[in-house]
Amino acid sequence: MKKLLIIILIAGSINGWAQDALQRELFSADVVLKYRSELGLSKQQVDNVKKIHGDQIGEFNSLKWDLDAELVALNKQLKPAQVDERSSLSQMLVIMELESKLKQMKLSTLIKIKNELTEPQQEKLKALRTDKDIKGLNVITPINENPRVMLKVDGTMGENNPLYILRNRNGDRKIPSIDGINTSDIQSVNVLKGEKAKESYGEEGKNGVVIIEMKQ
């Protein structure tokens, strides 16, 4: 049977309510600097936000590259017909530790940026920013706000393919594969398996369902 292996780098394990709070209460450097004139930021505020952002870029991207490499290593461990369970679980712990460090670093950066703004500036920015500005804010996206997603379906192509659903503002539509999708346009990926997939999509979902939600 076809093995479904999905590696997702932007759809982290943060609970929905926590992510909502992040998007509602915090601001990225990109958004703050985009509306600097409307907010009346002082030169010192602008310089401080740039410094906070710049101080984290090198370390954040270094950890992100390490995470990418560890995910590739886990992929290799899962390929054999007989998988070394202990080794694979150990590798997952390494991945989880890196993800935790990335989340903490990003959250710390966002908090520092917010603390540079006065309360009136924060309230004005909430009114100024667009839905796109808000949706781009996620704790484990790369620090430059350009999301990276790797999608890999492992196995032979054929009748055991999962069902792919592309979701955008026009609704859901079935697509034959993930080939050709611009990963920078992906908002999130959700995977349904087993009975849940069949309940939602009938026989078409018997091999699993991959729902790819695009940015609006």
For residue range 139-165, list pLDDT tens digits in order: 544 434 444 445 555 444 455 678 999
Half-sphere exposure of 8 (CA within 13 A, CB side): 16
For residue range 23-81, list pLDDT tens digits in order: 788 998 999 999 999 999 999 999 999 999 988 888 888 888 898 899 889 888 988 88
pLDDT at 20: 65
Mean of the pLDDT values across residues 111-133?
A: 93
> Which residue has better confidence, 11 or 91?
91
For residue range 1-19, list pLDDT tens digits in order: 444 444 444 334 444 555 6
Q: Which residues contact 128 (CB under 8 A, 6 or more apart)?
A: 35, 38, 39
* Best-predicted range by mean pLDDT (87-91, 113-117, 134-138): 113-117
The pTM for the full model equals: 0.57
Mean of the pLDDT values across residues 195-206?
A: 87
Q: Please, what is the average pLDDT of the chain?
A: 80
pLDDT at 145: 41
Assign residue 208 a region (left: φ > 0; alpha: ψ between -120 and 50; beta: otherwise). Answer: left
